[in-house]
Amino acid sequence: MTEDDLSIWLEALAGRTGGGQARAQREALALRAWIRSQVLAEPIPGVAAFDPQREAQLIERARAAGLLPSVPPKPAWLDRLRSFTSPRVTLALATLTTAVVALLVVRMPAPQVETMRGAENGVVRLEASNPQQLQLQLLAELHAAGVHATAYERLGRYGIDAELPAPLPASVLQVLQQHHIPPPADHILTVEVSGP
């Protein structure tokens, strides 16, 4: 058998046939068909159906022989990412994260406390840690609900006067309920906000 016949025979046995029908090719195709027709009735004892170590060895041999492309190089960012998994770096990142969260919690403004103190002479009195901020917030919410309201300041109290539509729309009622303000019977709203 010549070197060309051997090459044709090996290519045909691997399932890669050229256009010709040389004797070596016909023999290899017949052998390939017979091999593929064989079915094992039972698995071979002691041989695992899947052996990752053996598979890795065969793949490496195929790469060394040039039958498979070589493994592409690992990207550099993957090595840098692996460096972040060391215990020192993990501890440093955890410490930094804790410090940032603590700083954000300390710098976060305290939530505005709002307390309803009652209504006398038709004036609803509220207490808040920042009365002017609550006045502006309530004024903006009433305007957004479609109510014309005006703001005033008198003797350290920040007030709002508004004439509410009758019947009360759901949006206005929601604003009043959110701030625990009872709906006025005469539809004239007067709210005064003072500090605690």
Burial 14-30 (b: 16+ CB within 10 A, else e): eeeeeeeeeebbebbbe
pLDDT > 60? residue 142: yes
Tokens matching residue 30? 């017949």
Least confidently predicted of 61-70, 79-88, 101-110, 174-183 = 79-88
Question: Residue 117: phi, psi to the nearest 5?
Answer: -100, -5
Give this prediction's pTM: 0.40
What is the share, in percent, of the chain residues with pLDDT greater than 90? 3
Average pLDDT, the chain: 81
**Residue 98 has what pLDDT?**
92
Average pLDDT score over residue span 124-152: 87
pLDDT > 60? residue 37: yes
Report residue 123's pLDDT band, with 50, 70 and 90 as the boundaries: confident
Tokens matching residue 24? 């070596």
**Residue 179 has what pLDDT?**
83
**Residue 117 has what pLDDT?**
54
What is the share, in percent, of the chain residues with pLDDT greater than 70? 83
Contact present, 194 and 157 (Cβ < 8 Å):
yes
**Residue 193 has what pLDDT?**
87
- 75-99 residue pLDDT tens: 777 677 666 667 777 788 889 999 9
Terminus-to-terminus CA distance in the chain, angstroms? 106
Q: How far apart are CA 135 and CA 192, in angstroms?
A: 8
What type of residue sits at position 88? R
Q: Tell me the chain's radius of gyration from C-alpha atoms.
A: 42
